[in-house]
């Protein structure tokens, strides 16, 4: 067991170790007293949000707080993350560009997760070596599959696409390592994501309004919906053009911030909005992945990649696949808060 950590994160750190049979494994150890630390942080966060509401209540985050609390509680339980590893290995079994470590069940507890060691380099290390466009595209394709195959085939999303949560293989595929921040959605929510895409394609306000309702936005005016659509068009734009292109064609690094500021001003003008709890990790993943795709400088036909995922979408089939996968991987029900 190597005493020096190979990697560290907010809740724990990873050490390399060798099993008696010679297998190299990664041991993810949770820091002491993390439950008390997380509880304290959440109390302070709620207090800060409450104080902020007195100044500006444009975006009402009550449900978001409930969601973040529930997901953080799940992250503290490494037996749940072991189940997530089993689930992702099952969901991505037919996608060789993505590797997911297998947990070592007998050597895992709520605060210790032991799993296969997967060799790989950090994304920034690879970028510093000036990879070719083909190699950068290979990394981007693997990343797209790792995040969006689970979402559109099984209703499951990884809520933290941070570059420290995966490494790059020698063939420029990816090792997906940290699976603590996972969200499982009802099929209707995934249907809503696709419906909003179709609504923006057709400029169909009725379908867009229905999609937001499926997501959980309630008591929302049509004017507020039109403001939200500006953000949605920013997110969906690369998926709506059938050509090879970078994820963002504007050379302005502040372009996304400018869109967000316009949307915020619009929401303030129209009375504000209460995002549903399911929305937070989807939005976080989209923004986080877009940022990584920008760093990679990838140029792909995002439209065709997306169309392949949703071509035969059926909500009932997704629900059945999800239930079968959860049972096979022994994934416990999500904490609802």
**Sheet holding 174-176: strands in order across?**
98-99, 174-176, 166-168
- From first to last of the 337 residues of the chain, give the pLDDT tens digit: 999 999 987 899 999 999 999 999 999 999 999 999 999 988 888 888 787 777 788 888 888 888 889 999 999 999 999 999 999 999 999 999 999 999 999 999 999 999 999 999 999 999 999 999 999 999 999 999 999 999 999 999 999 888 889 999 999 999 999 999 999 999 999 999 999 999 999 999 999 999 999 998 988 899 999 999 999 999 999 999 999 999 998 877 688 889 999 999 999 999 899 999 888 889 989 999 999 999 999 999 999 999 999 999 999 999 999 999 999 999 999 888 6
Range 14-41 burial, b when 16+ CB lie within 10 A, else e = bbebeeeeeeebbbbbbeeebeeebeee
- Estimate the crossing angle of helix 133-154 against helix 302-310, to 10 degrees: 20
Confidence at residue 119, expressed as pLDDT on a 0 to 100 scale: 96
Phi, psi of 124 (to 5 degrees): -65, -35
Confidence at residue 68, expressed as pLDDT on a 0 to 100 scale: 87
Place of tokens 């104080």: 51
Confidence at residue 235, expressed as pLDDT on a 0 to 100 scale: 93
Per-residue model confidence as pLDDT tens digits over 94-127: 999 999 999 999 999 999 999 999 999 999 999 9
Whole-prediction pTM: 0.94
Per-residue model confidence as pLDDT tens digits over 19-73: 999 999 999 999 999 999 999 988 888 888 787 777 788 888 888 888 889 999 9
Domain ranges of the chain: 57-103+118-337
């Amino acid at each position: 067991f190597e005493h020096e950590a190979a990697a560290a994160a907010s809740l724990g750190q990873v050490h390399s170790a060798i099993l008696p049979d010679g297998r190299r494994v990664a041991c993810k150890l949770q820091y002491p007293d993390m439950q008390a630390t997380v509880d304290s942080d959440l109390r302070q966060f709620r207090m800060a949000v409450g104080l902020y509401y007195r100044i500006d209540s444009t975006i009402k985050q009550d449900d978001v707080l409930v969601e973040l609390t529930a997901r953080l509680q799940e992250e503290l339980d490494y037996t749940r993350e072991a189940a997530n590893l089993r689930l992702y290995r099952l969901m991505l079994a037919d996608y060789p560009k993505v590797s997911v470590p297998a947990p070592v069940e007998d050597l895992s507890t709520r605060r210790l997760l032991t799993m296969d060691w997967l060799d790989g380099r950090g994304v920034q290390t690879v970028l510093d070596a000036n990879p070719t466009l083909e190699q950068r595209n290979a990394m981007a394709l693997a990343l797209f599959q790792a995040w969006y195959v689970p979402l559109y085939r099984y209703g499951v999303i990884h809520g933290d696409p941070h570059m420290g949560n995966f490494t790059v293989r020698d063939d420029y595929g990816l090792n997906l390592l940290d699976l603590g921040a996972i969200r499982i959605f009802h099929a209707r929510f995934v249907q809503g994501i696709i419906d909003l895409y179709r609504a923006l394609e057709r400029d169909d306000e009725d379908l867009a309004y229905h999609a937001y309702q499926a997501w959980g936005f309630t008591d929302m005016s049509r004017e507020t919906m039109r403001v939200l659509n500006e953000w949605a068009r920013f997110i969906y734009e690369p998926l709506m053009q059938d050509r090879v292109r970078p994820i963002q064609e504007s050379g302005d690094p502040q372009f996304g911030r400018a869109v967000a500021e316009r949307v915020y001003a619009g929401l303030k003008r129209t009375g504000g909005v209460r995002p549903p709890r399911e929305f937070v990790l989807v939005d976080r993943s989209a923004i986080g992945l877009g940022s990584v795709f920008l760093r990679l400088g990838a140029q792909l036909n995002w439209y065709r990649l997306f169309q392949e995922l949703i071509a035969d979408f059926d909500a009932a089939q997704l629900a059945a696949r999800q239930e079968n996968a959860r049972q096979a991987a022994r994934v416990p029900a999500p904490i609802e808060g």
